[in-house]
């Protein structure tokens, strides 16, 4: 099972390398890793997708929580959340018929054609991991020239606890 782990970390040099080293050094795989700033310029958010069972994830989250530069670790997998991934895929179009099929397929997934070349089209798609995988599976009959994926990002959907009014 794939787990989505969100980490808030100090925005300091070397933090990313230490986190990756910690996970990979214990023999666990990182499927995707996405890091970006938060509303606070001193804090970054890391979204890490790690395959494994409950034991693996417990180990990873425990080890991450012990790091000095880590502020918070949350396994989003079993919580209400939204996750998305951005995909750019360039597909060969040998003829106008293939181009039309690819554009129609993209429209079914609410993807956009962002570039058209003489013998290819580039499509941008945003969706959850399953939707992106489904789209790529349906593109298999065509020649995929290039793919770039951002990796997963996620935010919780739980209610925010607010301090009681005095």
3-state secondary structure of 9: strand
Is residue 16 assigned to a domain? Answer: yes
Cα separation, 101 vs 119, whole angstroms:
14
108 and 90, same domain (yes or no)? yes
Q: What is the pLDDT of residue 165?
A: 47
Confidence label for 14 from pLDDT (cuts 50, 70 and 90): very high
Residues spanned by the domain of 26: 2-79
Q: What is the pLDDT of residue 94?
A: 85
Evaluate if residue 74 carries a pLDDT over 60: yes
Q: pLDDT tens-digit profile of 82-138? A: 999 999 999 999 888 999 999 999 999 999 999 999 999 999 999 999 999 999 999
91 and 40, same domain (yes or no)? no
Phi, psi for residue 119 in degrees, rounded to 5: -120, 20
Q: What is the pLDDT of residue 158?
A: 77
- The encoded tokens of residue 43 equal 């804090």
For the residues 8-13, what does the mean pLDDT come to?
94
29 and 86, same domain (yes or no)? no
pTM of the model: 0.82
Cα separation, 133 vs 131, whole angstroms:
5
For the residues 36-50, what does the mean pLDDT come to?
94
Q: What is the pLDDT of residue 159?
A: 65
Domain count, the chain: 2
């Amino acid at each position: 099972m794939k787990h989505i782990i969100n980490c808030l970390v100090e925005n300091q040099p070397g933090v990313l390398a230490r986190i990756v080293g910690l996970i990979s050094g214990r023999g666990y795989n990182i499927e995707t890793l996405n890091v970006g700033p938060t509303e606070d310029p001193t804090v970054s958010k890391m979204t890490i997708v790690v395959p494994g069972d409950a034991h693996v994830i417990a180990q990873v989250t425990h080890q991450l929580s012990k790091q000095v530069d880590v502020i918070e670790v949350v396994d989003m997998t079993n919580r209400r959340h939204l996750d998305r991934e951005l995909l750019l895929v360039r597909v060969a179009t040998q003829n106008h018929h293939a181009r039309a099929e690819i554009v129609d397929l993209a429209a079914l997934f609410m993807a956009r054609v962002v570039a058209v070349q003489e013998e290819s089209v580039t499509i941008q798609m945003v969706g959850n991991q399953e939707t992106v995988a489904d789209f790529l599976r349906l593109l298999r009959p065509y020649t995929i020239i290039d793919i770039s994926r951002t990796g997963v990002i996620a935010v919780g959907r739980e209610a925010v606890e607010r301090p009681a009014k005095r």
